[in-house]
Structures are given as structure tokens and as C-alpha cells.
Amino acid sequence: MEDNAQKAMDQAEYEKKYTRHYNRYEKARQRMAAIEELRLERNAKQTKTPCIPPLRSAASAHYFC
């Protein structure tokens, strides 16, 4: 907006430039949101509850993960 105040530029040219910048920003913002969602999913998978040992010491007892 400061650019529009400092230079003589017709309104149509300014709006075209502003729209390009806005679209670029929105695309980057959406990509960052998708990356953050993926990061949170991966973090949740890594921090699962550890395996719980069986209550009895039988040879056939299984761990619960």
C-alpha cells in the first residue's frame, strides 16, 4: 500500500499487482498449513504409547502395542 502512495500508478495496475501478491501469499499460507498438518500427524505417530508388557510371564503372552 505504501508503494501505491509513493508512486504514480493507475488503480487498475495497482490492483493487478496487489492481487498477484495476495494470490502468492494465499498459496504459500495453504502450503504451510498442509506441511504443519503433516508434521503434527508424524509427531503423533512417533509419540504413541509404548508397548505394555503382559501381566503374566507365560511364554505365549503377547505385548500390547
Q: Element (H or E) spanning 7, and its range?
A: none
Question: How far is the C-alpha of 14 from the C-alpha of 24, rounded, in Å?
Answer: 15
pLDDT digits (tens, 9 = 90+) for 9-39: 789 999 999 999 999 999 999 999 999 999 9
Amino acid at 56: R
Q: In this prediction, what percent of the chain has a pLDDT beyond 70? A: 63
Q: Residue 64 forms beta bridges with which residues?
A: 52
- The Cα-based distances of 44 to 39, 47, 64 in angstroms read 9, 5, 18
pTM of the model: 0.55
Are 64 and 51 spatial neighbours (Cβ–Cβ below 8 Å)?
Answer: yes
